[in-house]
Amino acid sequence: MSALDTERPRTRALRGSILHFLADPAALGPKQAYEYFEDGLLLLRGGQVQAVGAFEKLQAELTFDTELEDYRGHLIMPGMIDTHIHYVQTDAIASYGEQLLSWLADYAFPVEGRFGDSDYADEVAGFFVQELLRNGTTSALVLGSVHKHSADALFTAAQAQGMRLIAGKVMMDRNCPDYLRDTPASGYEDSQALIHKWHGRDRLLYAVTPRFAPTSSPEQLALAGRLLDEHPDVFMHTHVAESRDEVAWVAELFPDNRSYLDVYDRYHLLRERSVLAHCIYLNAQDRARLAATGASAAFCPTSNLFIGGGLFDLAAADAAGFRVGMGTDVGGGTSFSLLRTLDEAYKVLQLSGQSLPPLRAFYLATLGGARALYIDEQVGNFVVGKEADFVVLDMAATPLLARRCSLAKSLEERLFALMILGDDRAIKATYVMGQRRHAR
């Protein structure tokens, strides 16, 4: 490499249909919220977006040494963002027949116990990160197990792929098996050490992760709040109001609180960069608190159906004005694919007389997820200077998808077919910082 090459990284380019969002279609009206280039060009330099637009307009930017990849006939979109997933439950996916509290006891806790073995943690972390990429997911907010090295294993695997990933070791000091129990002091110290080691290293970020109110003592919840006060740009990640039995249990454990969400509020855990999975059994005051504090909800439809928790109310979330992203919630959720997740989200909303237009759905899986995680200055769309995480979608990945798309008369109709019929087979390639990390 010459000195000039090291100073000015070579421009790379991808040609194909390109879609990305600039705003929430529900807030702005669909036409102003997105850009679509039927024959588009995405120019990259040094892992960042240099330009995006119509091929016709941008082709003058191509030079003799631009490396051009031709994806004509395919759809290039920002990488999808999973706002809630448990990597330590990879091997608990598709476990039969329980509702939340017994599902945790019978399946989730035993499999998480295996993370006491660091070789197992390393192996699962490597598989998990590959599975994200195979499904077109380039960023995720991830729970580890209670074991400190579960977080080390995941960060190491994500770092090797150059991913922007947020994760944390679970804190839980009660109402769980002894083999999964930390203490307020050890949970605080281990989280503190992990923050120092990983938060802000390459593209990795740390989330303080009290599992949910029933498995943390008041003392531990207070220390989680202290960690956030000490590290204001660190994330908070937990569950709230997923099932009726869980809500009733929290009312018994915290009789003085106004609601389940109020427990977190009292310990100062609701803030910007706080993400709460499920948010099903909330009242108007709870929703107003999420909006006022800047906390976000992760909507996890495959999990809510599989575990039987209930139906997320997206219209109420929109009316209250808090941030929402899509979560797979594997292993309570049944797929790593955000396409499968959008399919189930559509059906969950149908059961409540609501809907999910396809443009909104793909916004939620990309820029909406980035906003929910407060990483939208870095990723989520193709605004110039953003990190070039993106996915190439094959609209003819299966005979049925090809057939249905060939009948579609609009972009919206093709996107809808993709979210209802698509899965990992539709992910032709996944790129992280402009580097191809998965290809079919």
- Count of residues of this chain found to bind Zn ion when the rule CB under 5 A is applied: 2
- Measured from the CB atom, the residue of 242 and 394 that comes closer to ligand GUN is 242
Cα–Cα dist 281/313, whole Å: 9
- Build a one-symbol-per-residue string for 216-255: x at contacts with ligand GUN by CB under 6 A, - elsewhere: -----------------------x--x-------------
- Measured from the CB atom, the residue of 50 and 334 that comes closer to ligand GUN is 334
By Cβ distance, which residue is nearest to ligand GUN?
332
Find the shortest distance in angstroms from Cβ 344 to ligand GUN.
Answer: 14
Find the shortest distance in angstroms from Cβ 108 to ligand GUN.
Answer: 5
Question: Which of the listed partners (ligand GUN, Zn ion, none) does 212 bind, with a CB threshold of 5 to 8 Å by partner kind?
Answer: ligand GUN
Q: Does 175 bind ligand GUN (CB under 6 A)?
A: no
Find the shortest distance in angstroms from Cβ 367 to ligand GUN.
Answer: 25
- Measured from the CB atom, the residue of 41 and 92 that comes closer to ligand GUN is 92
- Measured from the CB atom, the residue of 212 and 336 that comes closer to ligand GUN is 212
> 60 phi and psi, to 5 degrees?
-65, -20
Q: Does 108 bind ligand GUN (CB under 6 A)?
A: yes
Q: Does 86 bind ligand GUN (CB under 6 A)?
A: yes
Non-local (6+) Cβ contacts of 255 within 8 A are none
79 is written with which tokens?
A: 């990488």
Cα–Cα dist 52/50, whole Å: 7
- Build a one-symbol-per-residue string for 274-313: x at contacts with Zn ion by CB under 5 A, - elsewhere: ---x------------------------------------
Q: Does 211 bind ligand GUN (CB under 6 A)?
A: yes
By Cβ distance, which residue is nearest to Zn ion?
329
- Measured from the CB atom, the residue of 32 and 102 that comes closer to ligand GUN is 102
Point out which residues pair with 37 in neighbouring strands.
18
- Count of residues of this chain found to bind ligand GUN when the rule CB under 6 A is applied: 12
Cα–Cα dist 267/114, whole Å: 31
- Measured from the CB atom, the residue of 108 and 140 that comes closer to ligand GUN is 108
∠ Cα 168 162 66 (to 5°): 155
> 20 phi and psi, to 5 degrees?
-150, 165
Cα–Cα dist 303/46, whole Å: 38
Cα–Cα dist 388/164, whole Å: 11
Q: Does 87 bind ligand GUN (CB under 6 A)?
A: no
What sign for the dihedral angle of Cα 26, 32, 36, 42?
A: negative
Subset of 127-166 contacting ligand GUN (CB under 6 A): none
Place of tokens 């790129």: 431
> 355 phi and psi, to 5 degrees?
-145, 170
Residue 256 identity (one-letter amino acid): D
Cα–Cα dist 358/363, whole Å: 8
Nearest-10 crossing angle of helices 399-407, 411-421: 160
- Measured from the CB atom, the residue of 77 and 305 that comes closer to Zn ion is 305
Cα–Cα dist 208/270, whole Å: 12
Q: Does 182 bind ligand GUN (CB under 6 A)?
A: no
3-class SS of residue 71: strand
Subset of 377-416 contacting Zn ion (CB under 5 A): none
- Measured from the CB atom, the residue of 182 and 394 that comes closer to ligand GUN is 182
- Measured from the CB atom, the residue of 92 and 367 that comes closer to ligand GUN is 92
Of 435, 350, 432, give the one whose Cα is nearest residue 158. Answer: 432
52 is written with which tokens?
A: 């995006």
- Measured from the CB atom, the residue of 152 and 329 that comes closer to Zn ion is 329
Binding segment (CB under 6 A) for ligand GUN, from list 100-108, 181-189, 353-361, 418-426? 100-108
Binding segment (CB under 5 A) for Zn ion, from list 46-54, 153-161, 321-329, 393-401? 321-329
3-class SS of residue 258: coil
297 is written with which tokens?
A: 């909800």
- Per-residue CA distances from 318 to 194, 283, 296, 372 (Å): 35, 14, 12, 13
Residue 283 identity (one-letter amino acid): N
Subset of 279-308 contacting ligand GUN (CB under 6 A): 303, 307
- Build a one-symbol-per-residue string for 323-342: x at contacts with Zn ion by CB under 5 A, - elsewhere: ------x-------------
Binding positions for ligand GUN, rule: CB under 6 A? 86, 100, 104, 108, 211-212, 239, 242, 303, 307, 329, 332
Binding site for Zn ion (CB under 5 A): 277, 329
